[in-house]
Structure 1
């Protein structure tokens, strides 16, 4: 096999389409030469040490690809950004977006049992949220031989996917299940009037985002999948089967260019596909860890990773002959993508995370200029801001864009959360302990603000303010020395 030299691809182009998905070229869009060399070096080391026939990588920042590179060869040439690779379980992120679209349209609720919408499943009580987050306790793999290397025709009916005991663990505990995503694909087809899930995906997601090179079956140019001998520099071709009903777990093929668009979407959203609020749900840990610290978790269709003090979201994927990874840092608006065509060897996930880390280390993000809120300013909202106390614990309430609020502890201990304004005059928590909880402004008989009620927690203007309805009351003698 001819091995071509490594290269950086030509000048990166904007990725994505539609509001919030396309980065605007500016003075910071082009990476510095030393940053580009560090990225290419990391990719080259990953390909050489992982003994991968070929490898491509990219970094997305501010909604655009700012670096892309290739190493090794596909058909005797350095792989470019339009070469398809199989992306394995990255497919699950696409299926999750389809399910959230159905939820946003009111066709289902995440807490619904799947049996309410899908007849004949052997696990009718598993909720849709549990299937998305791999917490339904289902078996990891379908019945029969190794599904990634055998034709989907071996499992022509949904019942053929399950062993006699489809549920292996109690619901609520994270247990990765490929077969659960087969059910979600069937759910999408059922609620889209029998249209195949991959056709729904093309029509509702891929076309709006301009991802015309993401397909269920390979289309030229594409890389062949290889296994590399563990003790010799020799190759063995891997089969590329159509996995049939298991397709939603790992069927898709894609390119570096398309996955850059997907990374930009996962970071910023696109109103034509899925808004930022629903994407934030995907990125929230669905099964909270029992302890206060964790290194890896799972949201609704995305993996979560804590690395060097940063929270990364995305997914890794593997199929016979292929490895893929996409990790995105929503706070820094940067993502790394890696594709390679070998069954094992390269640590694609670590490499994709390293690409984002290299950019942030060499070129820390330039913050957006501070700007005042767009007017007009509501004086009643402004009057709510400032210090509030939960008991004797001081907090600050700040006004954000679109009438949003942010509550932050001032003592170094306490719970922070951002809140979205609702039409009924309340606010809904977006993150942290108060995610999903309702914040209400309580008033006295004269209409003056009395206190804040946040999921039964009372916040007052003074520490244990006697005039406020503090649960349990306040000692009538007050503070003393």
Structure 2
């Protein structure tokens, strides 16, 4: 990190701590899996907070629950399109699918009934039925509506399928493998205390830190900037002990649009998505009485940023983290990966070059030994990446053909006849004979 960049980050954090009147703030930026900057302002117990000082992270907790759910999917214990009731029959609502709960499109209300769950002992809600106070606001899947209750149900689902509590699964399946020893259910010293700042005076009021009980999956956890930096690196790169990179990419993909007026661009599977300037970020904001937190990752720049504050309101934490990442990306843009040659696969090499969808030319290019890209010759058109499947077909990874299957069709003599991409036919010449291209192809040919 250049000194000038570090100073700009220090300045941005200092401005927000002063403007937002936070008793303390702490932040970190991670690049390439390594912490490249940490900063802090204000005091916790009379000292400047360190990367080991805990803050409550609020709804960032939801992202951990989402990872646990995706692990269950990867193990074949559930499907994202399964209705909740198939695995949690005593849930007060059983129709929403697991994917709808992850993407906040289940139709559930945002909050429980009275009393205010964030400031009350979780014991006041002893069972799942006590979490849902009102009927669904709308049918599942019809609209995005953020729901804390939905993630409480997902936490219960994880516990049910693991035969214990969601926190036990969290410890053994995420925290231990990633080395996150300072992320805990209850605060562990050194930790910040939560404060409310008087809106019209420079005065403080202590906030309670209740055990949320069954609502804990929505916002209970405490963590440090050091631990969440490690977690941010995981959200970018994956870890085969927890989830592979392809599943993290799936979580970062849009699953439902955000509510009208929201600063967020859309919602992934347990992750919020933000378009900040020209950059697409993923992560989550968090708040609980006395605390604000945000974690954003920028896959294009291989950056993760986190900021905490021990104030109920005031600092614009989400914007601050996005601007920290933008500062690094603008001042120190990521170098592209070094190009290195790959040992050519003759069969793969034979597929490269121009193909035609009817009369439209497209280019097929090989990347390494197990990926293809298809797109317009001029760089436009329907472009997608494909990864080789076990049966010799190719599966679309992104773009228009995401999830579609590309098959290489051979003639009886073994030579390549054409490509079949979800019934679209690609030939080596524009409009090949009618036995390859469906429908009428004038036998007289081009003229």
TM-score per shorter chain, which class? over 0.9
Is the counterpart of residue 186 in structure 1 residue 186 in structure 2? no
Equivalent pair of 2:24/2:310 in contact (CA under 8 Å):
yes
Per the alignment, in what secondary structure is the counterpart of residue 331 of structure 1?
helix
Cα deviation for residue 423 of structure 1 reads: 0.7
Give 1:150 deviation, angstroms. 0.8
The 3 A distance-change label for structure 1 pair 124 and 103 is same
Deviation of 1:448 (Å): 1.7
Displacement after TM superposition at 1:289 (Å): 8.4
What CA distance in whole angstroms lies between the structure 2 residues aligned with 1:304 and 1:459? 35
State the alpha-carbon separation in 2 of the partners of residues 87 and 444 from structure 1.
59
Tell whether the 8 Å contact from 1:217 to 1:252 is kept in structure 2 after alignment.
yes
CA distance in 2, matches of 1:130, 1:466: 46
**For the structure 1 residues 235 and 321, does the alpha-carbon distance in structure 2 shift closer, same or farther, using more than 3 Å as the test?**
same
- Which of 36, 46, 71 is the matching residue for 1:76? 46
For residue 78 of structure 2, give the secondary structure of its aligned residue in structure 1: coil
| Normalised TM-score (structure 2) | 0.96
Asked if residue 279 in structure 1 is aligned to residue 245 in structure 2, the reply is no
2:76 match = 106
Deviation per CA, 1:404-460: give whole Å up to 9, x if none: 211122245421111121111111111122111111111223222122111122222
Contact 2:304-2:325 at 8 Å conserved across structures: yes
Q: Distance in 2 between matches of 1:277 and 1:142?
A: 34
CA offset at residue 257 of structure 1? 0.4
Q: CA deviation at 1:55?
A: 0.4
1:289–1:146 Cα change, 3 Å: closer
Counterpart contact for 1:83–1:223, Cα < 8 Å:
yes
Give the Cα separation in 1 of the matches to 2:189 and 2:442: 77
Out of 46, 49, 64, the residue aligned to residue 19 of structure 2 is 49
2:281 to 312, 337, 350: 312
Uncovered stretches (5+) of structure 1, i.e. residues with no partner: 1-30
Deviations 1:339-397 (A, max 9, x none): 11101111101110111110111111122221112x3x320111011112222222221
Offset of residue 164 of structure 1: 4.3
Tell me the number of residue pairs that the alignment of Structure 1 and Structure 2 aligns.
444
CA drift of 1:111 comes to 0.9
Tell me how far 1:295 sits from its aligned partner.
5.9
CA RMSD of aligned residues (A): 1.7
Equivalent of residue 366 in structure 2, options 399, 409, 419? 399
User: Is 1:430 aligned to residue 400 of structure 2?
Assistant: no
- Are 2:186 and 1:220 equivalent residues in the alignment? no
Determine the C-alpha separation between the residues in 1 that align with 2:369 and 2:290: 48
Q: Quick check: 1:418 aligned with 2:385?
A: yes
Q: State the partner residue of 1:208.
A: 177
Aligned to 1:10: none
CA distance in 1, matches of 2:134, 2:200: 39
Runs of 4+ in 1 over 6 A off after TM superposition: none
Counterpart in the other structure of 2:91: 121
Aligned to 2:323: 354
SS at match of 1:346: coil
Per-residue deviation, 1:180? 0.6
**Partner of residue 410 from structure 2, selected from 443, 446, 457:** 443
Counterparts of 1:374-385 in structure 2, within 5 Å, are: 375=343, 377-385=344-352
Residue of structure 1 equivalent to 2:313: 344
Alignment of 1:149-188 (within 5 A): 149-165=119-135, 167-172=136-141, 173-188=143-158
Unaligned stretches of 5+ in structure 2? none
1:33-48 equivalences under 5 Å are: 33-48=3-18
